[in-house]
Structure 1
């Protein structure tokens, strides 16, 4: 059974000026344990797809299922990580990571043990008692990832989580995420606008088309895990990057109106 399945999903946003079709008949299957990235031009509905899968937004047509159960609202089985870290500034790293467990009624000893394990997993063991204001951007995002993992979700839904980071930190976070993912092969749907990031992380890259949002092309990434720096510099990576780049930026709809 696939972990995430979009079935003819559409989303229409009504406005005073008329309707805006953000997604049209999107069908996509993400298998259990698969790491899929979604990339596309601005306004192609990437985040709308993720928000529907997270249960934060309703589809106006079609359905999304996770492990065969239709998504009808938010659930701890779907861990969501956004570009903005959304950490509680008055809570320590440990308290932030514990938060979901506390809401779920997990007793103090168990949630503290789980939180410490997740914090160590993302390399923040020395900062367990630190407040968010003392952390770098990359460290805050590691904390957010640890918090998502703490409630043991079936899938991770990540919406441009590294978009606000500098280039060097971003590369480090990509490697850290893949190292964490390799331990349990949790199903991941990862939204990004960065072609290199899309190729480096994924087993498959889903390229979206805009106006309205729909799947334009799905490109398999035939590179083995673990991914390495040498892979980033390889001819195979360059070829895949070129395929994705062309699929994103040379769509017929994007070329309309240009001189011939």
Structure 2
């Protein structure tokens, strides 16, 4: 399979009061075109830093990150980024929020509205296109944020714990909706989470990060068929894979600081 995203011995350090903090160290990972990959690991293992490198929000201090074989030097429209915080404009409707990136890209008004409508319908918010964020539930706000990312038609979705602040039922519902849209759109997805069940349920492969300095500890293949269902979530094979990932995440030495 062709690599859509490649981390090649990527490292990232940050200055701290007493020296240097090594957040990531020699991370090498290839993510195939249209693949859904989740990343889990202990707190402070560099999961979000990894995503920020792919997004171009920060630069590696060693190694490189490539998308389609080209070095990532900054943010780009081919990469949509979705964070835990929705970051919606409270004075804009759902449609206005979804159209915002298209407006910045000078997309003509008619096309902008058509693309926004498709994205809003894709995430199931068609009846709320004219609603303001203050009238939406947390799950609906996150769906609006996902629609905004979809509207600009990115090839890659980079998602940093997007469902982390939601209640358990809403979280499961959004997992199912995300997989439904992924099955239809087939974008490449890099999804950061601290929830092992979520990581296994969504992904073709789960990347387990080692405690700081962050590095790839192991990659677990999830040989479960799509579409994923409640039956799969309750299956013995799901439990087996979940236990493997759980053990890999929670039986690691504590994070250390490199100076």
- Determine if the TM-score, normalized by the shorter chain, exceeds 0.5: yes
In the other structure, the counterpart of 1:17 is: 18
Measured in 2, the distance between the counterparts of 1:90 and 1:164 equals: 22
Shift of 1:211: 2.0
Question: Aligned to 2:3, what secondary structure does the other structure show?
Answer: coil
What residue number does 1:242 align with? 243
Partner residue in 1 for 2:182: 181
Structure 1 residues 160-204: Cα deviation after superposition (integer angstroms, max 9, x where no partner):
000000000000000000000000211000000000000000000
CA distance in 1: counterparts of 2:218 and 2:184, whole angstroms? 29
What's the CA shift for 1:56? Answer: 0.4
Report the CA distance between 1:37 and its aligned residue.
0.1
Q: Please tell me whether residue 79 in structure 1 is matched to residue 80 in structure 2.
A: yes
Whole-angstrom CA distance in 2 between matches of 1:241 and 1:197? 9
Instruction: Kindly provide the CA deviation profile for residues 191-246 of structure 1, in whole angstroms up to 9, marking residues without a partner as x.
Output: 00000000000000000011200000100000000000011110000000000000
Q: Spell out structure 1 runs of 4+ moving beyond 4 A.
A: none
Q: Distance in 2 between matches of 1:39 and 1:255?
A: 15
Partner of 1:46: 47
User: Which residue does the alignment assign to 1:123?
Assistant: 124
1:27 and 2:34 correspond: no
Q: Please name the residue that 2:201 is paired with.
A: 200
Unaligned runs of 5+ in 2: none
Taking the aligned partners of 1:4 and 1:255, their CA distance within structure 2 comes to 27
Query: 1:229 maps to what in 2?
Result: 230
Unpaired runs of at least 5, structure 1: none
Match of residue 167 from structure 1: 168
Distance 2:74 2:239 in 1: 40
Q: Deviations 1:51-83 (Å, cap 9, x if unpaired)?
A: 010000111001111111110001111000000
**Using the alignment, how far apart are the partners of 1:184 and 1:135 within structure 2?**
25
* 1:32-51 residue CA offsets vs partner (Å, 9 max, x unmatched): 00000000000000000000
1:255 to partner: Cα distance: 11
Q: Is 1:143 matched with 2:141?
A: no
**Length, aligned pairs only:** 255
CA distance in 2, matches of 1:211, 1:87: 32
Corresponding position: 1:209 with 2:180:
no
Q: CA deviation at 1:254?
A: 3.9
